[in-house]
Amino acid sequence: MGHEHDLSSGLPIPLGWYAVAYSKDLEPKDVQAVSIFGQELVLFRTESGQAQLMEPYCPHLGAHLGHGGKVVGEAIACPFHAWEIDTAGGVQKIPYAKNMPKRATEGPCLHTFPMQELNQMIWAWYHPNKEAPSFDIQEVAEFSDPSWSELDTYEWEINTCLQESGENAVDIAHFVYVHGTHEMPQATVTLDGAHRSTDMVTSSPAIDEDGNIDMTKMEDMHLVTQNFGPGMALQVFARAFKTVMMATMVPIDADRIKLRFAFTKPNDISEQFNMFTDVLIEEIVRQVGHDIPIWENKIYRDNPILCDGDGPIAKYRKWFKQFYAEEDEGQTTTTPLRAVK
């Protein structure tokens, strides 16, 4: 709060696959209350290992399953009267009822999110009208390869929206003025449905197989960023930098995001390459710190004045529009967030 101006973008929460947690942070039988997508939700893992994100308010008398709920087999038992809700949102058992109430047998009582678990993360599909997934996220081989390191992770909560933070990748001029890049990179953007690929070229000193740098010889360095919807970006670094980075973004609400970076490196790289790679990771993390105060204090301009050096910002925004669904009229789509006191 504390702002004189309303800095909300007015943009809705985009539909998409969102990484809601690292897999390792949710053990079997764990139950967590989470606030994302502008809603209160419950995330739990069953005894057999299925992770499920679900509407949290018990169909009985409305207790929050994320506050004291307990996993029982493949269901979660409510903390209030122990009704058991399964991963499809149905009432599986009422321990003290002689007869199941009719409404409890007519199908799911609570909304459950389509889930996937890959790249060491738990993903949930968000759609404002609860429609089924319309695209896929990408499996990253390095994230399940034992010859690659454990993830090196970083995270931030930032007062901005997904469209605005994602615009960074195509906003060429800001690399010079915000991040101190020496020259304006060249960027080519390729769009294919929910997939977007940005190839950024800068020239940098030549480097050989052993990591020796030749300052007298400049080469083109390509950095390809791939986006799978609004919630996942992937960067595979090459040459001096032996790392793969997955960035995930999840909307806490329409104007606040959680940004996570996860890096992995091959276990068997030389000390030289390891050092280069660590410097790169440090620099990438540092750059987020440059962006945050800009994002948190800016307004969203729907119709900005753009110039020829700006990079494909308009193209990016047009691509991003596909993630804004028309909200169905008259359907109550979300459980409202608890009022902030």
> Does 61 contact ligand FES by CB under 6 A?
yes
Alpha-helical runs (H) found in the chain: 102-105, 162-166, 172-177, 271-297, 313-320
The interface partner of residue 195, options being Fe ion, ligand FES, none and the CB cut-off 5 to 8 Å by kind, is: none
In whole angstroms, give the CA distance from residue 287 to residue 250: 19
The interface partner of residue 291, options being ligand FES, Fe ion, none and the CB cut-off 5 to 8 Å by kind, is: Fe ion
Nearer to Fe ion, 97 or 279 (CB): 279
Residues 6+ apart with CB under 8 A from 338: 40
Residue from 7, 11, 33, 63 in contact with ligand FES (CB under 6 A): 63
In the numeric block, which tokens belong to residue 291?
């962006």
In the numeric block, which tokens belong to residue 252?
């806490």
Least separation in angstroms between CB 31 and Fe ion = 36
Least separation in angstroms between CB 306 and Fe ion = 17
Residue at 191: amino acid letter: L
In whole angstroms, give the CA distance from residue 13 to residue 324: 7
Nearer to Fe ion, 163 or 168 (CB): 168
> Does 93 contact ligand FES by CB under 6 A?
no
- Check: CB of residue 94 under 8 Å from CB of residue 102: no
- Check: CB of residue 254 under 8 Å from CB of residue 161: yes
Nearer to ligand FES, 81 or 222 (CB): 81
> Does 67 contact ligand FES by CB under 6 A?
no
Nearer to ligand FES, 63 or 173 (CB): 63
Binding mask 288-317 for ligand FES (x = CB under 6 A): ------------------------------
Least separation in angstroms between CB 237 and Fe ion = 17
Nearer to ligand FES, 80 or 135 (CB): 80
Least separation in angstroms between CB 264 and Fe ion = 22
Nearer to ligand FES, 61 or 141 (CB): 61
Least separation in angstroms between CB 331 and Fe ion = 37
> Does 78 contact ligand FES by CB under 6 A?
yes
> Does 70 contact ligand FES by CB under 6 A?
no
φ, ψ for residue 232, nearest 5 deg: -145, 135
* Interface region with ligand FES, contact rule CB under 6 A, candidates 79-87, 168-176, 186-194, 308-316: 79-87
In whole angstroms, give the CA distance from residue 14 to residue 207: 41
- Check: CB of residue 187 under 8 Å from CB of residue 170: yes
Binding site for Fe ion (CB under 5 A): 168, 291
Residue linked to tokens 């909200």: 327
Closest CA to 20 of 47, 48, 42: 42
Nearer to ligand FES, 62 or 101 (CB): 62
Least separation in angstroms between CB 76 and ligand FES = 10
For 230-276, give the secondary structure using H, E and C.
Answer: CCEEEEECCCCCCCEEEEEEEEEECCEEEEEEEEECECCCCHHHHHH
- Binding residues (CB under 6 A) for ligand FES: these are 58, 60-63, 78, 80-81, 83
